Amino acid sequence: MSIELRLSRANRIYHANEALEGKIIVKSPSSISHYGIRLSVSGSVNLQVRGGSAGVIESFYGVLRPVPILKKSIEVRPSGKIGSGTTEIPFSLILRQPGEENLERFYETFHGANINTQYLVAVDIMRGYLHKTLSATLEFIVESDKAELIERPVSPEMVLFYITQDTQRHPLLAELKSGGFRVTGKMSTQCSLSDPVTGELTVEASAVPICSIDIHLLRVESVLLGERIVTETSLIQTTQIADGDVCRNVTLSIYVILPRLLTCPTIFAGPFSIEYKVSIAISFHSELSKLHSISDPTAPRLWMAMETLPLELVRTR
């Protein structure tokens, strides 16, 4: 015997003012009696503070009280029987009724290191004390309502940057400091979640051969803990735009596709905030790099040059 939830949309993306629709699929070799079929939806922002981003006292708190967003349930069917074979039971539930007061605004689905915004739909088929309740849970994705989207277009302006041995705040190999290098480019610092992060980069000069050029997408999660704010920066993904010693004075395109569940619009809420950064990392050929394992690709290294830019993500019409 099995129970499954199947939503009407394959991508499972819904807006707060829409109806969550789908089917409850029950497969049973024989008919069963039940005391009601209940469907419930819930949404919350789950916060935590890890020991690596806070002190000993802060890490003692561990998981903080979640921020509730949504909690409601309906009875799909009253007490009765489900026949043998495969039975499909349709359901429909409006996430937010017009004029309905909610505990919080509907933040977009986001899976981070310390912040996790999640929406779940669950079904329970109650069978009494002698039988175990049949249950199934499925996550669905919430995006901003059309009324909350930014109407103005994303700014086409790009920020200019240049990377040399003099712009680095961490120690470099002697041959990098003496020989020198210069990399220039530009990149968009405001981007729609449905579009890639774009820009361009040019290696004008480098005395030491280049090994790789990578674009790191970073999230900056801040959680309010008591009277202080605990902030942690972590890596979302890395996109390599050059492999090997690139030709000088040739423009390289920057094109980074944003992962859906790991990104959401930039948020500044009361108990938490989510921001983003983009880091351009240039690795140079060095025998020293072969002796060290790369546990954190964003950590400063003697054979690396880096430049970090802020990135604002928005949801547009």
Q: How many helices (H) and strands (E) does the chain have?
A: 2, 21
- The pLDDT tens digits for 110-162 are 999 999 999 999 999 998 777 888 999 999 999 987 666 655 567 778 999 99
- In whole numbers, what is the pLDDT of the chain averaged over residues? 89
**Residue of 78, 79, 77, 72 lying closest to 88 (CA atoms):** 77
Which residue do the tokens 């210069």 mark? 182
90 CB neighbour count, 10 Å cutoff: 10
> How far apart are the C-alpha atoms of 288 and 174, rounded to whole Å?
12
User: What's residue 81's pLDDT?
Assistant: 93
- Tell me the C-alpha to C-alpha distance, in Å, between residue 164 and each of 87, 180, 307: 66, 7, 10
Query: How do the pLDDT tens digits run along the chain, 317 residues long?
Result: 899 999 999 999 999 889 999 999 999 999 999 999 999 999 999 998 875 554 544 454 556 889 999 999 999 999 999 999 999 999 999 998 766 665 578 999 999 999 999 999 999 999 877 788 899 999 999 998 766 665 556 777 899 999 999 999 999 999 999 999 999 999 999 999 999 999 999 999 999 999 999 999 999 999 988 888 899 999 999 999 999 999 999 999 999 999 989 999 999 998 999 999 999 999 999 888 777 766 777 888 999 999 999 999 998 87
Q: What ranges do the domains of the chain cover? A: 2-145, 158-314
2-145 belongs to which CATH class? mainly beta
Identify the bridge partners of residue 191 per DSSP, sorted by sequence position: 313
158-314 belongs to which CATH class? mainly beta
User: What's residue 52's pLDDT?
Assistant: 53
Contact 216, 279 (CB under 8 A): yes
